[in-house]
Amino acid sequence: MAQRRGTINPVAGVDAPETMQRATIPVESQIDREALRRRAYKLYEHRGGEHGHDWADWFQAERELRAQRMPPRQRNG
Helix 54-69 vs helix 33-46: crossing angle, to nearest 10: 120
- The answer to pTM > 0.85 is no
Q: What is the pLDDT of residue 11?
A: 46
Say if residue 39 is exposed, middle or buried (CB neighbours under 10 Å; 0-12, 13-18, 19+): buried
Domain residue spans of the chain: 26-77
pLDDT at 31: 79
User: pLDDT of the chain along its 77 residues, tens only?
Assistant: 455 454 444 444 445 455 545 555 555 557 789 999 999 999 999 999 999 999 999 999 999 999 888 777 665 55
SS3 label, residue 73:
helix
**What SS3 state is found at 64?**
helix
User: What does the alpha-carbon distance between residue 73 and residue 44 come to, in Å, rounded to a whole number?
Assistant: 30
Residues 6+ apart with CB under 8 A from 29: 69
